[in-house]
Amino acid sequence: MPYKKFYPAEERHQNYYLKNPARYKTYKFLSGRTPFLEKMRGKEKKKGGGGSNLRNKLSDLQYHVTQECGTEPAFKNEYWNNHEPGIYVDIVSGKPLFSSKDKFDSGTGWPSFTKPIDAKSVIEREDKRFGIPRTEVKGADSGSHLGHVFEDGPKPTGLRYCINSAALKFIPLKDLGLEGYGGCLKLFE
């Protein structure tokens, strides 16, 4: 039906998705809006293609974890038990995030690290979703959800960066130069 009167939203609601991107993404995901719109539009999910659209670039799980603040299953993910030397990069931006030298077995079923390669490569934000205060870890370049950091890790940092495998791509030490990450070889000297 045609509207009869228009009421502008308060200033705090103007461009909300830009002012509060994490909250907006959480709201959008929990509301079921995206699946509903896709169903109504008859849109099929595309896989592969490697285009600029993240839906095409990422698997459903990678997209859910990185863009919708999801979590993959413990002990049923690609890197929780990986012991090969190398680095872990942001699946979206390709930015180096973590080194295997800082990886440890936390017993949680997710890859865990004592620190990032460069503290500026990640952003830490308070996360009160689900009523549990935690610290969310996001990729600084991509803005993608990576996981959470906790203060129950081993020395020397006492931190446990609990990261979803689906947010990462592993680059083996032997392939660092070939993949364009030769600058990270110094981490293993």
Q: List, by residue number, the catalytic residues.
A: 162
d(CA 37, CA 21) in angstroms, rounded, equals 20
d(CA 67, CA 44) in angstroms, rounded, equals 18
Map tokens 């994490």 to a residue. 22
Which among 162, 93, 95 is positioned nearest to 127, based on CA atoms? 162
Which among 134, 140, 102, 149 is positioned nearest to 122, based on CA atoms? 140
**Helix pair 33-41, 21-31: axis angle to 10 deg:** 60
d(CA 89, CA 67) in angstroms, rounded, equals 16
Distance of CA 70 to the CA centre of its chain: 8
172-175: long-range contacts (C-beta < 8 A, 24 or more apart)?
A: 172/84, 172/85, 172/86, 173/84, 173/85, 173/86, 173/100, 174/86, 175/86
